[in-house]
Amino acid sequence: DADVTQTPRNRITKTGKRIMLECSQTKGHDRMYWYRQDPGLGLRLIYYSFDVKDINKGEISDGYSVSRQAQAKFSLSLESAIPNQTALYFCATSDPIRDRVAENNEQFFGPGTRLTVL
């Protein structure tokens, strides 16, 4: 079974609809992230959470909200979807490993959700 799962994998919706994308992980990681990726471009960070009580805005949080229901679950909502939110959405987790010098931050990604807003 995959460590990081996303549901749904594909979704087509209409402008103005409320949409929720869900992410679950079995890795036991405290940190979780939501990214979006537009065709031919890199990933942009929407929101991230370092634990269930610590949620932070990323580069492009406008039009999105999140909920960290438990350590294992991090949901992304589009309150009123618009066509320019059509994109591929990725969830990721991490568990920083600390050494004497610095703290690294390898992230583990889910399979993605392809969202189309008509």
Kindly list the residues in this chain that would bind other proteins in the complex (CB under 8 A). Answer: 33, 35, 41-45, 48, 50, 56, 58-59, 88, 90, 92, 96, 101-112, 114
Q: Considering the complex, state which of residue 3 and residue 67 has its C-beta at the smaller distance from other proteins.
A: 3
Q: Considering the complex, state which of residue 15 and residue 40 has its C-beta at the smaller distance from other proteins.
A: 40
| Least distance CB 30 / other proteins (angstroms) | 12
Q: Considering the complex, state which of residue 17 and residue 109 has its C-beta at the smaller distance from other proteins.
A: 109
- Secondary structure string (H, E, C) spanning 27-75: CCCCEEEEEEECCCCCEEEEEEEEECCEEEECCCCCCCEEEEEECCEEE
- Number of H helices and number of E strands within the chain? 0, 11
